[in-house]
Amino acid sequence: MKLIRFGTQGNEKPGILDNKGIIRDVSSLIPDWSPEWLSNEKLALVKQLDLDIFPIVDTAQRLGTPVTGVRQFIAIGLNYGEHAREAGLELPAEPVVFLKAITSLSGPNDNVVLPPNSTATDWELELGFVMSKIAQNVSEADALDYVAGYCLANDVSERHWQLQRNGQWGKGKSFDTFGPIGPWLVTRDELTDPQNVQFSLKVNDELMQSAHTSDMIFSVAKIIAYVSQFMTLLPGDVVITGTPAGVGGGMKPARFLKKGDVVTLDSNLLGQQKQVIV
């Protein structure tokens, strides 16, 4: 299934994208795609619904984040070899983990707002996933059983704040609008292998990043097993898994986002995002 939320900010309703590409409003039955509705048992019941009986949603509707009630927004850094090399850093022996503020989460097509006086705001194409149940000390073999589904993510990053302001990376990655996810959450029954996803990112129709998740240093299963050793992952938590090569900060000379730029993320499995920089 493809879970989706639509409507104005703060007033989103839950929907499902049917097999014809039509969004169906399921709010008469499901309150929202909140953590309690992301369990394997609840999603199995939802999958049995006859979507034809639910109202069709106007395609002009704004799309919100595909899940709500997120309590933790976790990110993995330097998870593609070529990206680590373009950043001038050694390949990590263990996953690099940092947090983004949940207030940075935004809809897949919402505007990205440049911070005041920013001259180094960058793009980062990433695979995201959402947890379905509590995970503590999970084995790598069982890890994917804890995933509700997968989505596209743009880990927007202000490099000056990230690298030169004497703090953790989260300082440059937690501005409002710096965490677009969606357009939908592809549930685990439909996307069974997260290491078999092709995706890309363009800025103003110029291809910047194109990669396959098989190139990740640490797989989704490895990330869950690793992180759940030292923190409890909760239902609805969003985890993004690192960006491939091709970010603006890795170019010579560096190239960053400016007002009016359009960033487009694409995947045949995960859909499309498009953000205007304002």
Taking only the tens place, the pLDDT of each residue in 67-89 is: 999 999 999 999 998 887 887 77
Record the pTM.
0.96
User: How far is it, in rounded angstroms, from Cα 54 to Cα 50?
Assistant: 8
Residue 120 tokens, joined = 């180094």
Residues 6+ apart with CB under 8 A from 17: 1, 2, 4, 23, 24, 184
CATH of residue 142: 3.90.850.10
Three-class DSSP category at 71: coil
Within-domain flag for 192: yes
Give the pLDDT of residue 166.
Answer: 87
User: How far is it, in rounded angstroms, from Cα 137 to Cα 46?
Assistant: 29
Within-domain flag for 220: yes
* CA contacts within 13 A on the Cβ side of 73: 23
Within-domain flag for 147: yes
User: How far is it, in rounded angstroms, from Cα 123 to Cα 257?
Assistant: 8
**What's the total number of domains in the chain?**
1
Q: Which domain holds residue 115?
A: 68-276
Amino acid at 231: M
Give the pLDDT of residue 34.
Answer: 98
Radius of gyration of the chain (CA): 18
Within-domain flag for 42: no
User: How far is it, in rounded angstroms, from Cα 141 to Cα 138?
Assistant: 8
Within-domain flag for 108: yes
Within-domain flag for 214: yes
Within-domain flag for 17: no
pLDDT tens per residue, range 193-212: 999 999 999 999 999 999 99
**pLDDT over 90 (residue 235):** yes
Minimum mean pLDDT range among 27-31, 82-86, 125-129: 82-86
Within-domain flag for 177: yes
